[in-house]
Structure 1
């Protein structure tokens, strides 16, 4: 079998590199570079051989290619992998009844039409692009040793073509829980057309607990994010509800607390989800109060006291008192805004009075910073709408503790059949391995090691002895 000879050849070349290192031809860093190149070349060659062997298998297996006839052979294709560019030859088929034409080996290997980059490298690129710019992603791929020609445009196109990845899988058994928490906020980004946009973030969790260094952590959080403008906001809450139904016994959920800054799209979630209770994020309320009352600490204490008592009239009365004290229209307008904000969100404020034993507080602002802003809005970044949506989704997937690389590869290959070579091919391969074993025995009996007088054989034998071969 060609692949066996390929591996043996590479072993002998590695032995030559070891000899070169130990005789002063290479420094150790130079040896590492040479060795890496050899192994990558081996990887490319193995990929080529395997694809061509699979093409041969399909050709010889009449049942597998029933009704398909060969119209052209030795058609070359190059696919970029982590090892570098792999060029292989395959047959072009036509379906006798429908006239459909296809490269059957590409289908069997999961290589799509016009695809230039293989799925494993795509998964690597996508994962890197969620953490750094497109340009830096290409540099990191090349720094990692991949001998491939990838541009920032390639990274962007790859990202956009990735299928949607769910932040959860099929649940083995649904949980029984009475209370769920949802927190929501948004990040403001710049579009390439000069306009601004909004990326929404929603995450579901089961409460909070004390973690290392007395810091709070969320229990089983799942994140959902993307550009959901206008009527598409319903799609976002639909995804959240699908996750809840898939993970929890929905008839056991008594309350779902939804915390946020009072934006309409967050309140839409309160109407959309059953048993949902709106809770205003006190961080945003505090900003309005601080802006309206400035440094009046006494009045602030009085205001917060009435807020937690749930006395709306007294809360508004305190703010009107401050409004009358101000002389400038600017200061008066700030108080007006605070009054309107409290009136529009009183339901969410009053929830603290009704459910103070269960409400855990809201940390959406910091989660937006960590999950979205780090990649989407910090620095001079601009996005297309589709690019921002895809990036936000992938950041949410990563924040949910899911491996992007594994999910992308799984999506592509879950419907593919395992590759099974014909029995005759396997039999011939086994016979070839048997002959090699009979002729050379173990690695120690390879021809290069039979000459006891050469420095090369002595060096390699010494190395094999150290690693117990």
Structure 2
């Protein structure tokens, strides 16, 4: 085999092609041998029904598989031993290593562009539809995994064994981005993004450039704000113990940020994002007014900021403009306590020169979501948007390659699992009684029903 391939080599390029073809043939032969070994050592209850053929795309080429379908004479169930041994999933056309390439490329460019790149690079051809299906299935699997892990904590009482890191301040920036929808009616989909970090650190001795410390993101399409905050808290709890931590949250004027966030953190300062304040004032009052009043606000003179805006309502050139001025002032008054910069509101002992203004979420949304999901008039199904948001989240958090290396698994129904746990007669209930109750320090810690549970837990 090697001699035949070597006869056609004229330069390094033909040598490379020959090596890839040799690797493909070796892989096929190895799989054939494995199939025969599995047949020789099969369980005596397994009976061969027929042979099935299948093609799997790999990084070295398309591999044709011919394997036996067995039927278990005891259970009546069918099984393909080779597929089980190799971890080949039903209806999947690519190997795990090739899937890694597809997902990483798809996180950077459209599915059609991925198809073109693969074709030009000489990899096995896949249509953009096939690439989409493979990538979406991976993203869907990860989305289900994240939801399952969250349910285990908030519903099943699982105790997280994270680093339990304690810090005085934890920063969260929340934002949303609307992407075009393929759903009937054309209603847009919102990708919610939460950026978590420990503050700032300088990247040079001259302190001219800085970056966020330990940044990580949570991103997805969430049915409710509650779903977003539960996952956000779950992500935080894997690393931090917030018992003695003050949380500072920055975001635009959306109620799911300014209002709902307070229901999920007992010790929190919520701040209206400076960029959005300046943008809204500039839009309705003019850029010069926005520059001057934002400087006033930065100096901590919140009341002067509000009074000046109110005095300028009558100077609006049209009735429509005056109405919009009233509306934005009413919004600022609704969240008046959120207007001041957090550095004026934190305890004195926590203030130092290493604290800076917030507003990094816009850049993170653009870098991690918008560039991939809003280019060239792209539109998304709800499932497709959710899958891609999860992939982009894992990529930023440097978890994507690890997750792509995982063996395939099925997410179990968490409710069914919980019922099973309670039915076990030999359960050691002392461990359960000694465990912490997640709700006490979880997303609903400030609610009345949680306070009641806290009281019962101390009896």
TM-score bracket, normalised by the shorter chain, equals: 0.7 to 0.9
Aligned to 2:71: 94
Normalising to structure 2: TM-score of the pair? 0.76
Match of 2:408 among 409, 412, 433: 412
In structure 1, C-alpha distance between the alignment counterparts of 2:242 and 2:56, rounded to whole Å: 47
Match of 1:319 among 290, 309, 314: 309
Question: What SS does the aligned partner of 2:171 have?
Answer: strand
In structure 2, C-alpha distance between the alignment counterparts of 1:320 and 1:172, rounded to whole Å: 49
Question: What SS does the aligned partner of 2:7 have?
Answer: helix
Question: What SS does the aligned partner of 1:386 have?
Answer: helix
In structure 2, C-alpha distance between the alignment counterparts of 1:132 and 1:327, rounded to whole Å: 46
The Cα of 1:276 is off from its aligned counterpart by 2.5
Match of 1:397 among 394, 399, 412: 394
Measured against aligned partners, the alpha-carbon deviations of 1:19-59 in whole angstroms (never above 9, x if no partner) come to xx3xxxxxx4xx51x22332222222222222222223323
Question: What SS does the aligned partner of 2:338 have?
Answer: helix
User: Does the 8 A contact of 1:120 with 1:405 survive in 2?
Assistant: no
The Cα of 1:362 is off from its aligned counterpart by 1.6
Aligned to 2:94: 117
The Cα of 1:247 is off from its aligned counterpart by 0.8
Whether 1:72 and 2:52 are equivalent positions in the alignment is: no
Match of 2:236 among 223, 244, 254: 244
Aligned to 2:118: 141
Match of 1:107 among 74, 78, 84: 84
Task: Identify unmatched segments of 5+ residues in structure 2.
Answer: 150-159, 412-459
Normalising to structure 1: TM-score of the pair? 0.75
Q: Within 5 Å, which residues of 2 pair with 1:325-340?
A: 325-340=315-330
Whether 1:159 and 2:156 are equivalent positions in the alignment is: no
Match of 1:82 among 59, 66, 73: 59
Taking a change above 3 Å as real, the CA distance of residues 368 and 38 of structure 1, as seen in their structure-2 partners, is same
The Cα of 1:270 is off from its aligned counterpart by 3.1
Match of 1:175 among 162, 165, 174: 165
Report which of the two structures shows the higher radius of gyration computed on alpha carbons. 1
In structure 2, C-alpha distance between the alignment counterparts of 1:36 and 1:145, rounded to whole Å: 11
Q: Within 5 Å, which residues of 2 pair with 1:259-270?
A: 259-267=250-258, 268-270=260-262
In structure 2, C-alpha distance between the alignment counterparts of 1:315 and 1:283, rounded to whole Å: 15
Match of 2:214 among 220, 225, 245: 220
Whether 1:380 and 2:356 are equivalent positions in the alignment is: no
| Structure with more of its chain in helix, by fraction | 1
In structure 1, C-alpha distance between the alignment counterparts of 2:370 and 2:332, rounded to whole Å: 28
User: Does the 8 A contact of 1:207 with 1:360 survive in 2?
Assistant: no
In structure 2, C-alpha distance between the alignment counterparts of 1:319 and 1:105, rounded to whole Å: 73
Question: What SS does the aligned partner of 1:341 have?
Answer: helix
The Cα of 1:256 is off from its aligned counterpart by 1.1
User: Does the 8 A contact of 1:176 with 1:248 survive in 2?
Assistant: yes
User: Does the 8 A contact of 1:110 with 1:413 survive in 2?
Assistant: no
The Cα of 1:248 is off from its aligned counterpart by 1.4
Taking a change above 3 Å as real, the CA distance of residues 270 and 310 of structure 1, as seen in their structure-2 partners, is farther
In structure 1, C-alpha distance between the alignment counterparts of 2:288 and 2:405, rounded to whole Å: 58
In structure 2, C-alpha distance between the alignment counterparts of 1:81 and 1:373, rounded to whole Å: 31
Taking a change above 3 Å as real, the CA distance of residues 172 and 330 of structure 1, as seen in their structure-2 partners, is closer
Q: How many residues align?
A: 384
Instruction: Between 380-389 and 90-99, report the one with greater CA deviation.
Output: 90-99
Taking a change above 3 Å as real, the CA distance of residues 272 and 302 of structure 1, as seen in their structure-2 partners, is closer
Measured against aligned partners, the alpha-carbon deviations of 1:400-430 in whole angstroms (never above 9, x if no partner) come to 223x344223243899xxxxxxxxxxxxxxx
Question: What SS does the aligned partner of 2:359 have?
Answer: coil
Taking a change above 3 Å as real, the CA distance of residues 303 and 143 of structure 1, as seen in their structure-2 partners, is closer
Taking a change above 3 Å as real, the CA distance of residues 80 and 326 of structure 1, as seen in their structure-2 partners, is closer
Question: What SS does the aligned partner of 1:160 have?
Answer: helix
Measured against aligned partners, the alpha-carbon deviations of 1:353-398 in whole angstroms (never above 9, x if no partner) come to 3139356412111211111110111222111111111111111211
In structure 1, C-alpha distance between the alignment counterparts of 2:287 and 2:117, rounded to whole Å: 50
Taking a change above 3 Å as real, the CA distance of residues 96 and 274 of structure 1, as seen in their structure-2 partners, is farther
Taking a change above 3 Å as real, the CA distance of residues 250 and 316 of structure 1, as seen in their structure-2 partners, is closer
User: Does the 8 A contact of 1:371 with 1:399 survive in 2?
Assistant: yes
In structure 2, C-alpha distance between the alignment counterparts of 1:135 and 1:379, rounded to whole Å: 12
Question: What SS does the aligned partner of 2:405 have?
Answer: helix
Taking a change above 3 Å as real, the CA distance of residues 108 and 322 of structure 1, as seen in their structure-2 partners, is same
